[in-house]
Amino acid sequence: MNHQEALTSYIAAFVAELVKSGVEDVVVSPGSRSTPMAMVMAEHPELRVHIHVDERSAAFFALGIAKASQRPAALLCTSGTAAANYYPAIVEAQYSRVPLIVLTADRPHELRDVGAPQAIDQIHLYGKNVKWFVEMAPPENTAEMLRYARTVCARAASAAQTSPAGPVHLNFPFREPLVPQLDRNDLFELSERTEGYVNIHSGQFGLPNEEYKEMAQILNSAQKGIIVCGPLEKADFPAAVIKLAEKLNYPIIADPLSQLRSGLHEGSFIIDAYDSFLKNDDAKKALKPDVIIRFGAMPVSKPLTIFMKENSTARQIIVDGGRGWRDPSLLSTEMIHCDELLFCESVTSYLNTSEYDEFIALWKKINDLTRSKLADVNAVDELSEGKLFFQLAELLPEGSTLFVGNSMPIRDLDTFFHYNQKSIRVMANRGANGIDGTVSTALGAGMASQPLYLVLGDLTFFHDLNGLIASKQYGIDINILLINNNGGGIFSFLPQANHPRNFEKLFGTPLDLDFSHAIKMFGGQYDLISDWEHFISAFQQNMDRSGIKVMEITTNRDRNLTEHRELWESVSREISRLLEG
């Protein structure tokens, strides 16, 4: 049988099924071994092919597309270290439950482990960090093998999306010659079945009705309950959890990535300043819960994690539709593997409305006081990291996506970005909390969600400068607020900061970079912000500009530390005064 014909038919069957499985975007990095797949993909009229030379950024870009669109995105690269460069984004996808279909080209079996060029061991390359690995059979043109290619593809797409979503890896051995036959006019004409080859059905995880009822009884009998919502993106979840809170009269401790801090939903149950007031012992004592119900991944806030850990006698109910074990304190009394929305709706339907409101009133009172004390940061004249996040809730346009870098930005967001009625979607890479791939992930998200704002530190920006190319190549608009404190500001908050001898060398790590040159290289707009007035005018002007727009905000790590400490101390003093009185 003709080799090229087999290669072409097999890959075309696979690509056709990929599209039928709902994949619309594939990020391809150039290479030789992946030639047949890349060339066939480029022929498909319903597949958007994005080229990204740097595989590390490419994989994060695909991650961003999948994260924002909540549809699986595919990746394709050649053999060797190209595939290894996907690793960080795959880890992030696995831990943040984002569907990715990773396709790597490989040497055929006879060229493995015999010194052939660009041949590394790609079998289970990503280990346990993918949900499914398949070493694909070499291309053949029999009806059975075309069915095989389509079935594996459908299974891979389904596995990537089934809760908990995550990455899957298919490794394709290709023999030379690698150029497919593109002059065929039947490339994607599928002989046996023209729709999706196999439609995979799977349902939500639910509980028997009796259990919802029991849970409702338990919750109705507890007066001092709190609901903790960690990072979770699920349409309709905010409304459902608010209904649950309303019936129970429980406060909702809303992580910045819970999608509850912005939006038109009822805000009176939202507690958003807890990261600051849960540092205070008097508050912690007064706010002790009997019951904690948790949804989503672990919250960003360390004081909140400590608070939950300290309340080890409380009943701790963790609801996880992804059937994981999100309980680093090992204190859960109920681990409930049930779709979060279904849980809220079902339990709510069995609840009696609680009249007890003293506990929630106290949470709100402390929260309001904390918010007003934190607002003192607005009086600061100099450029300040905290004030920047306070300003954002004011300045961000309706419907924007705010992508936040790890390290201090996500923490400052937690501290200073409070409930507002704009529909702002907040995103970050909190699966593995890396400072890598942030620009690329944000740009991938920007494919589906605009206007896009990215706030990140200088080391995080430096780490993925390459990622900016996607904006230039694909015209993705991005507003970048670069917080340049010349190094890793977060380390000043850690105990090693008390050991000054090698602190700057090991942790501060100033890079002394002039980022304007890099922005220029990518054809972007750059503003070195001089003061708040300048910041606001640049921010507003950039709304009418397209492409890459970087506003660099220079801050000072020591001053930043002092500012945070002073604010937290003033919050703490006020709370103790309130609770004493």
* Beta strands in 419-524, from DSSP E residues, in sequence order: 425-427, 452-457, 478-484
Q: Return d(Cα 255, Cα 273) in angstroms, integer.
A: 10
Q: Return d(Cα 42, Cα 284) in angstroms, integer.
A: 58
Min separation Cβ 86 and ligand TPP, Å = 15
Min separation Cβ 383 and ligand TPP, Å = 14
Residue 384 touching ligand TPP (CB under 6 A):
no
Handedness of CA 19, 22, 27, 31 (dihedral sign): negative
Place of tokens 């699920």: 234
Place of tokens 């406060």: 251
Residue 408 touching ligand TPP (CB under 6 A):
yes
CB atoms within 10 A of CB 546: 12
Min separation Cβ 459 and ligand TPP, Å = 3
- Nearest Cα neighbor of 403 from 424, 433, 388 is 424
Residue 308, both tokens: 């939950």
Min separation Cβ 538 and ligand TPP, Å = 21
* Beta strands in 371-530, from DSSP E residues, in sequence order: 401-404, 425-427, 452-457, 478-484, 525-528
Residue 253 touching ligand TPP (CB under 6 A):
no
Min separation Cβ 191 and ligand TPP, Å = 47
Greatest extent of the chain over all pairs of C-alpha atoms, in Å: 88
Residue 407 touching ligand TPP (CB under 6 A):
yes
CA triplet 41, 44, 48: central angle to 5 degrees?
75
**Residue nearer to ligand TPP on the CB measure, 299 or 434:** 434
Report whether 251 contacts 226 (CB < 8 A): yes
Min separation Cβ 352 and ligand TPP, Å = 46
Residue 406 touching ligand TPP (CB under 6 A):
yes
Task: Using CB under 6 A, pick the residue from 181, 433, 450, 473 that binds ligand TPP.
Answer: 433
**Residue nearer to ligand TPP on the CB measure, 180 or 386:** 386
**Residue nearer to ligand TPP on the CB measure, 316 or 466:** 466
Q: Tell me the per-residue interface mask from 482 to 501 with ligand TPP, x by CB under 6 A, - otherwise.
A: ---x--xxx-----------
Residue 90 touching ligand TPP (CB under 6 A):
no
Residue 502, both tokens: 């090698």
**Residue nearer to ligand TPP on the CB measure, 35 or 407:** 407
**Residue nearer to ligand TPP on the CB measure, 156 or 392:** 392
- Which of the residues 545 through 574 are near ligand TPP (CB under 6 A)? none
Q: Return d(Cα 235, Cα 88) in angstroms, integer.
A: 27
Min separation Cβ 510 and ligand TPP, Å = 10
Min separation Cβ 552 and ligand TPP, Å = 12
- Which of the residues 445 through 484 are near ligand TPP (CB under 6 A)? 457-460
- Nearest Cα neighbor of 291 from 250, 258, 253, 240 is 250
Which range in 59-67, 155-163, 273-281, 401-409 contacts ligand TPP by CB under 6 A? Answer: 401-409
**Residue nearer to ligand TPP on the CB measure, 99 or 409:** 409
Residue 435 touching ligand TPP (CB under 6 A):
yes
**Residue nearer to ligand TPP on the CB measure, 317 or 490:** 490
How many residues lie near ligand TPP (CB under 6 A)? 17
Of all residues in this chain, which one has the CB nearest to ligand TPP in the complex? 457
**Residue nearer to ligand TPP on the CB measure, 348 or 484:** 484
Q: Residue 252 belongs to what H/E stretch? A: strand 252-254
Residue 436 touching ligand TPP (CB under 6 A):
yes
**Residue nearer to ligand TPP on the CB measure, 339 or 412:** 412
Min separation Cβ 442 and ligand TPP, Å = 14
- Which of the residues 26 through 65 are near ligand TPP (CB under 6 A)? none
Q: Tell me the per-residue interface mask from 277 to 316 with ligand TPP, x by CB under 6 A, - otherwise.
A: ----------------------------------------
Min separation Cβ 560 and ligand TPP, Å = 8
Q: Return d(Cα 272, Cα 393) in angstroms, integer.
A: 13
Sheet of strand 452-457: strand arrangement: 425-427, 401-404, 452-457, 478-484, 548-554, 525-528
Residue 386 touching ligand TPP (CB under 6 A):
no
Asked, as a colleague might, if the bond just before 167 is cis with ω within 30 of 0, I would say no
Q: How many residues does the chain have?
A: 581
Where helices occur in 376-426 by DSSP H, the ranges are: 385-395, 408-416
Handedness of CA 432, 438, 440, 443 (dihedral sign): positive
Phi, psi of 156 (to 5 degrees): -65, -45
**Residue nearer to ligand TPP on the CB measure, 34 or 407:** 407
- Nearest Cα neighbor of 74 from 33, 37, 136, 26 is 26
Residue 440, both tokens: 């690329």
**Positions that interact with ligand TPP (CB under 6 A):** 405-409, 433-436, 457-460, 485, 488-490
